Structure 1
Amino acid sequence: MTLIDTADSYGPFVAERLIRKALHPYPDDLVIATKAGLTRQGPGQWRPVGRPEYLRQQAELSLRHLGVERIDLFQLHRIDPAVPVADQVGELALLQQEGKIRHIGLSEVGIEEVEEAGRSARIVSVQNLYNLAHRDAEPLLEYCEANGVAFIPWVPLATGRLAEAGGPLAEAAAGHGASPSQLALAWLLRRSPVMLPIPGTSTVAHLEDNVTAATVTLTDEQFEALSKGA
């Protein structure tokens, strides 16, 4: 694993501080991606805030909380409909020019929004909901493949009915001696060369289960069955 994805609103701020406590000083090959632009007022309460001065403030706080001089990948957590996209992404471009962030990404966007943002800065990644059971972002994934943009699926472990007894995921998992979630990750890793899954975890055992998914190789028949079974 060489990518850790977090955000200022996870906590808020708790996740960034935990990452620093656990891993600083960071290995040279580790990429830490964080996000700003989606505020958390309470359980289940989220509000996009894309004012340039706010995004700059949050980037500065993330630098401090992570203990880095430059953020590898800084993602606009949500596009704020009340603020022009050029102003939001343009501020991230200024931070990039100042050497405070290396790369710029987006989250929960469509192709038109990626192209609009691309007029203000180079977009290297997008992060959208995508998994075996939810593939509404398929056109965006294909766009990313065609344009060399990394695709970071969040909630990658959702399997829906595919994991039910007798379903293609349950059968493939049994054949590999693996868990359905491991097969779900294995499918994502095979689905596209630009795919960077970010499965969340809260226990060491779950983390180890996720990591083992990288060793699972699906047959062509299993991959096709899972691809058609959603």
Structure 2
Amino acid sequence: WYMISIVHIYNRWRNSEIRCYVNGQLVSYGDMAWHVNTNDSYDKCFLGSSETADANRVFCGQLGAVYVFSEALNPAQIFAIHQLGPGYKSTFKFKSESDIHLAEHHKQVLYDGKLASSIAFTYNAKATDAQLCLESSPKENASIFVHSPHALMLQDVKAIVTHSIHSAIHSIGGIQVLFPLFAQLDNRQLNDSQVETTVWGVGNRQEWREILYGSTQNFASLL
């Protein structure tokens, strides 16, 4: 996984600057004489592809959440965003939204409100409806779109969403559906040579259920 960040820094009296970061580290920079007029309107915007969508100019692979900010990010902000990992897809509004342990100075940079208020638009695989990718910036942010902000995924593009262990267990009916499987672990099993095999040495089935129930409660509390 790589996090690529491209920052455009506007300078009034000299050439503007382009900086490229990979995984939170500056790898390249240079001056840019091309003037960017923020008053211009653009009728098309492509992510991971050119306008023609020809095979030589289309990104092939998995793409995580995409963010475009209306303000130039500083190195500390970019590094802190990288600490959130490839699965982050929120809007930098709540400190408790991520399970990843972050240093306090990173939390301060991420959740001081500056990042959230400067999101121009953002897309991620979880916010999709069929081939429509929904724009997910905070509702209170001013929209930069003239028409609908939602994007259409090109042909053969698919949204892939992974789920946490807690969600996976919940989808099959909860941890209780595994009880019958665990309860059979101490059953006597005979192979072709009639050799007895005991997986768990629990004295009786009632003791096993009590141990299993206590372990399950602890496991569920961790999730």
Q: TM-score, normalised by structure 1?
A: 0.23
Q: Which has the greater radius of gyration? A: 2
Q: TM-score, normalised by structure 2?
A: 0.24
Q: Higher RCO, 1 or 2 (CA under 8 Å, sep at least 6)?
A: 1
